[in-house]
Chains A and B, each alone.
Chain A
Amino acid sequence: QKEVEQNSGPLSVPEGAIASLNCTYSDRVSQSFFWYRQYSGKSPELIMSIYSNGDKEDGRFTAQLNKASQYVSLLIRDSQPSDSATYLCAVNRARGNTGKLIFGQGTTLQVKP
């Protein structure tokens, strides 16, 4: 079993729809969770971090964490073609970011105009 699992996709949504990206992790002691966006041929960039159960909203992005189910998700509202990218879920056993992240394989999102 991989430590961090994501459906590789591609996930295809129409412009303006809500895109839902999911991630599960195997290590129960994990405390910090991150979503990165990676455009093709570019480096990953941080979108959201979440440390506590529940929802965290930032603009069109909402991260959701359920530690009991070992599940973290990212919702993108009003999806735009510019959101088309690979979204990487990353987990850290420590609180905050120590730099030692465990990444999932990434989900490719395609937003169609």
Chain B
Amino acid sequence: SAVISQKPSRDICQRGTSLTIQCQVDSQVTMMFWYRQQPGQSLTLIATANQGSEATYESGFVIDKFPISRPNLTFSTLTVSNMSPEDSSIYLCSALLQETQYFGPGTRLLVL
């Protein structure tokens, strides 16, 4: 199995600022992902974090707003840039290991 940790667990930010969320996996994994869970909504895939290359973004998400880094097989970061209240959500890191998808505990973000 894989254990995923995220930092910070929660934050309150002012609009216009940026926040970087860190994700650490206790195993080397090929595939890492970032999801968003807005209040009362389902989980939505933001992007696939590719090791050694640019992230692959889903429709509706762009690199300028959500830059992602993946420097190695166990770590990734997601930055939420130029935040607005609409970005208030839970951001979850996910990793695929042996066809099982594991999720981190999430980062609860409130933008004022």
Contacts and interface: CB of A to CB of B under 8 A. Distances in A.
A44 B100 contact: no
* Main SS at interface, chain B: strand
Interface string B86-112: 000000101010011111111000000
A99 B42 contact: no
Contacts of B53: none
Contacts of B82: none
Interface string A79-101: 00000000010100000111111
Interface in B12-56: 31, 33, 40-45, 48
B33 A100 contact: yes
A interface residue count range (under 10 / 10 to 19 / 20 to 34 / 35 or more): 20 to 34
A44 B103 contact: yes
Contact of B96 (A34, A42, A98, A104): A98
Most chain A CB atoms below 10 A, which of B4, B33, B45, B101: B101
A106 B41 CA distance: 8
* Main SS at interface, chain A: loop
Contacts of B48: 99-100
Interface of B: 4, 31, 33, 40-45, 48, 58, 92, 94, 96, 99-106
29 contacts: A43-B103, A43-B104, A43-B105, A43-B106, A44-B92, A44-B103, A45-B103, A46-B100, A46-B101, A90-B43, A96-B99, A97-B99, A98-B31, A99-B31, A99-B48, A99-B94, A99-B96, A99-B101, A100-B33, A100-B58, A101-B43, A101-B45, A101-B101, A102-B45, A103-B43, A103-B44, A105-B41, A105-B42, A106-B42
